Amino acid sequence: MIEVAGLTKAYGEFVAVNDLSFAVQSGQVMGLVGPNGAGKTTTLRCLSGIIPPSRGTIRICGFDLRTDSVKAKRELAFLNDEPRLFDYLTVEQHLAFVARIYGVQDFAAKAVPLLEELEIADKRNSLPGELSRGMKQKLAIACGLLHSPKVIYMDEPLTGLDPLGIRRMKDSILKRARDGAAIIISSHLLHLVQEICSHILILKQGRKVIDGTIAEIATRFSGRAGQLNLEELFFKATEEQGAAPEPPPVIGVPPG
Amino acid sequence: MISALFYLQYHSIRNRLVQRFKRLRQPKYLFGAIVGGIYFYFYFFRYIFGVHGARHGVKLGANLGNAALYESLGAVVLFVVVLLAWIIPHQRGALAFTETEVAFLFPAPVSRRGLIHYKLLRSQTAILFTTLFLVLVTNRFGGHSWIRAAGWWLLLCTLNLHFIGSSFARTMLLERGISNWQRRLVTFLVLLGLGAWVVIWAGRTMPGRFPIDQLTNLADLEPLRQYLQQILTSGPMPYLLLPFRWVVRPYLAHDALTFLKALGPALLLMALHYWWVIRADVAFEEASVDASKRLAERVAALRAGNFRGRKTTFKRKRPPFELRPGGWPAIGLLWKNLISAGQAFTLRVWVVLAAMGFAIAAILRGTAAGSGFIPVVAMIALMLMVWLLLLGPQFLRQDFRQDLAQADLLKSYPLPGWQIALGELLAPATIMTGIELLLLGIGVALSAELPGNLRLNLGMRLNIGLGVACMLPMLNMLTLQIPNAAVLLLPAWFQAGKDSPQGIEATGQRLIFLLGSFIVFFLALIPATVGFAAVFVGVNMVLSQPIAFLAASLVAAAVLAIEVGLGVMLLGWLFERFDVSDSQA
């Protein structure tokens, strides 16, 4: 579903993503992790056709994103960490607009359950300015999922969601993966990545450090599958200073 | 405290200037600064330096009769400004600090009086810059620059102190249970009483001196001037306006001696205001925190290109038509941008525009002697149509210029670039065409008899009107393509985003853009003009002029349509190659 070969993105002399190659198959959820400035967001923006790569090829469902961009983009959705909404369109108008852009004929039949699933059905006539941060995020998600994309990119998808929203979002991601979507999630929340991702790709300074299933990565770093958690793997892979924090001092009850 | 403030101010200004000089290494700022510098020199500075050929304006205070009138008129303006400060505001008194100042100073061991002093000194930067600007603008009218500068400074400082003092007074009144409406009512009653006094005096001392016909004849303003002079310089008005006259008098002084004589009362008034502000024991901190948030929103809005500098609060607008899920995606963009445009085109805007049009027509009727009202309205409508065609794209920006902030969203849509480009252009083009057709209709309907005994029969007017109407949509698409192409070609030059340049270089950049837009537009008109001329000459040999005009217009519209089509393809190509990261870098 997603095939990336030799992806490179340079800004002048600075190379943000360097010779990145990987593939994500239908039903797989890949976690894209790395320290700040590793090139995760740049990678996702290249993969969604927002910014052109300097070199390399990206194929979405068999369509080359450079030469057949319209067909490729029809199959994908990019859910940003910062919801990008039009200030003057209501929730319902956002969905109507997206339906026209993507040609979603059964828009009404899809929009209602989607809004209900995301618990913003009662806000259908509200403008983004009247929504909380979490609701805006949900609306952006609804817009992204309306056309039933086969490829989904998510940049920090849980930002701004409440605990129930987080739970539902996780379920929604897994459900869509089970339905056959290929999903890439970029996040610093390693426990989330470990919980829902079948594969991991660790980036550092624009280069791929390692990719594979968590078990494969654990085996490569420690020789024993399943013995390390993702946080330890991450620090080992990126050689970051990740010593466990000191326990907080115990506050005793003063005598008397 | 004061030394810390000076440290902050000095380093802030110095660093800002250094930063602006450093960025002149980039061509876009350098060219902008050069062009802006030339503009400012020819428009403002040469009047200060008295270069040969510069206009020497009238010294405002040279004639004693005029001096008294100007002083009184200035005092009236100041009175109105001060009055509004007592009537309009409804919030509690607040000193507008920035959010950073609130974060650093409010928890710091600084007394309330120290904060007021900080604010007063801080406001000097803005006052000095405003003074400089106003001197540059008003110096064109003659007089000594230093007197103008000192006069503006005194006036602005006193006004600043008055605004702070009145806001504190409002807060005190609110704390004592006197509501905003009660305060406004009392202010209004006082104003009514004073106004009645002036009217009664004028009625008794100047019976029969209100010839309405003469006073409203804009072709001869002398009766109006004499009437105003009488009202403002005798009777109760000079006494009522005395403090305001003190404030404006230094500015109007025509030499050093009169300035020094006027300085004493103005300084006394300023000192009294200072004492009033400093002695006020009002808790302004909470309101200041709110004000700092509003200030931050206003700054953010201005930097984002919202010239009104106000955080836009959007309202739900009825969509212009129902958008069905199937169909041409570009119509979706038109639909979206028309909803956005609906935020700007409120009933209030239309009422203001209609009032302005009516006022202009009335003035022209007064000044264009011999012309009737109807032909003048026709001429204004047609002039507005041409004006909208040329300058409309500067105001109607519901296209790439508005949506560039959402470029990553647009880029992710499964649409070819030309469709996005077309969709983005359609909304402003539709609005412009609609308004222009309305103006054209008014022009055609009312231009049967034009000034200079020029008569046009209905058939002629209809043919010309129809021909122009055919060309207008394409002309609008063409004028809109130029700024949109500029945005996509040179996103770093585009005046938007948090780092948008300000000052001379920004003015220069805008001038370059405007000049460039006009040149490109007129070049793009050449093929259509050639086609129009050829057909008009050819058809005119066999048929009548109106028919020839209509036929030529249709050909010109077809040529323009081809150009527009090519332009849309080019815009789409540019958008597909537009690197979002470059514009955000």
The continuous run of DSSP H or E covering B389 comes out as helix B373-395
Domain boundary pick from B39, B56, B73: B56
| B342: Cα within 13 Å, side-chain hemisphere | 17
In a domain, B339, yes or no: yes
Closest listed residue to residue B3, CA positions, set B153, B126, B114: B114
Hey, what are A70's tokens? Answer: 């319209």
Least CB–CB distance from A93: residue in B312, B319, B411: B319
Spatial distance between the Cα atoms of B471 and B563, rounded to a whole number of angstroms: 12
The b/e string for B213-227 (b: 16+ C-beta within 10 A; e otherwise) is: eebeeeeeeeeeeeb
Domain boundary pick from B243, B269, B301: B301
Q: Alpha carbon B428 to chain centroid distance? A: 20
In a domain, B314, yes or no: no
Q: Are residues B92 and B29 in the same domain?
A: no
Smallest CA–CA distance, residue A1 to chain B, in Å, is 17
Q: Are residues B264 and B235 in the same domain?
A: yes
**B30 lies in which domain range?**
1-56
B86 pLDDT band (50/70/90 cuts)? confident
B92 pLDDT band (50/70/90 cuts)? low
In a domain, B309, yes or no: no
What are the CA-CA distances from residue B208 to residues A82, B204, B205, B321 (Å)? Answer: 71, 9, 9, 59
Residue B497 has what pLDDT?
44
Number of domains in chain B: 3
Residue B439 DSSP SS3: helix
Q: Are residues B362 and B420 in the same domain?
A: yes
Q: Alpha carbon B500 to chain centroid distance? A: 18
pTM over 0.80: no
Q: Are residues B215 and B361 in the same domain?
A: no
pLDDT value at B410 more than 80: yes
Q: Are residues B41 and B87 in the same domain?
A: no
Mean pLDDT is lowest, of A37-51, A169-183, A207-221, for: A207-221
ipTM of this complex: 0.77
DSSP output for B375-386:
HHHHHHHHHHHH
Residues of B whose CB is below 8 A from A71: 414
Residue A255 has what pLDDT?
53
The b/e string for A110-123 (b: 16+ C-beta within 10 A; e otherwise) is: bbeebbebbebeeb
Residue B533 has what pLDDT?
94
Residue B332 has what pLDDT?
93
In a domain, B312, yes or no: no
A195 pLDDT band (50/70/90 cuts)? confident
Least CB–CB distance from B580: residue in A51, A90, A102: A51
CATH number of A1-75+151-157+185-240: 3.40.50.300
Domain boundary pick from B56, B78, B97: B56
In a domain, B310, yes or no: no
CB-CB under 8 Å, A80 with B408: yes
Q: Are residues B330 and B252 in the same domain?
A: no
Residues of B whose CB is below 8 A from A104: 325
Q: What percent of chain B has pLDDT over 90?
A: 25
Q: Are residues B27 and B134 in the same domain?
A: no
Smallest CA–CA distance, residue B316 to chain A, in Å, is 7
CB-CB under 8 Å, A86 with B406: yes
8 Å CB contact between B242 and B265: no
Spatial distance between the Cα atoms of A3 and B356, rounded to a whole number of angstroms: 61
Q: Are residues B527 and B454 in the same domain?
A: yes
Interface residue of B333, B336, B582 to substitute, partner A, most A CBs within 10 Å: B336
CA angle B313, B318, B322 (to 5 degrees): 135
In a domain, B308, yes or no: no
Q: How far apart are the first and last CA of chain A?
A: 68
CB-CB under 8 Å, B409 with A84: yes
Residues B125-138: pLDDT tens digits? 889 989 988 887 77
Residue A252 has what pLDDT?
53
Residues B364-403: pLDDT tens digits? 655 554 556 677 778 888 999 999 998 888 888 888 888 8
Q: Are residues B78 and B190 in the same domain?
A: yes
Residue A186 DSSP SS3: strand
Smallest CA–CA distance, residue A75 to chain B, in Å, is 9
Backbone φ and ψ of A21, nearest 5°: -135, 135
What are the CA-CA distances from residue B337 to residues A197, B317, B330, B417 (Å)? Answer: 39, 12, 11, 17
Interface residue of A101, A107, A124, A125 to substitute, partner B, most B CBs within 10 Å: A101
Mean pLDDT is lowest, of A157-161, B199-203, B349-353, for: B349-353
Q: Are residues B331 and B474 in the same domain?
A: yes
What are the CA-CA distances from residue B341 to residues A164, B42, B171, B352, B387 (Å)? Answer: 37, 37, 39, 17, 20
Q: Are residues B17 and B94 in the same domain?
A: no
Q: Are residues B155 and B192 in the same domain?
A: yes
B529 pLDDT band (50/70/90 cuts)? very high
In a domain, B77, yes or no: yes
pLDDT value at A223 more than 50: yes
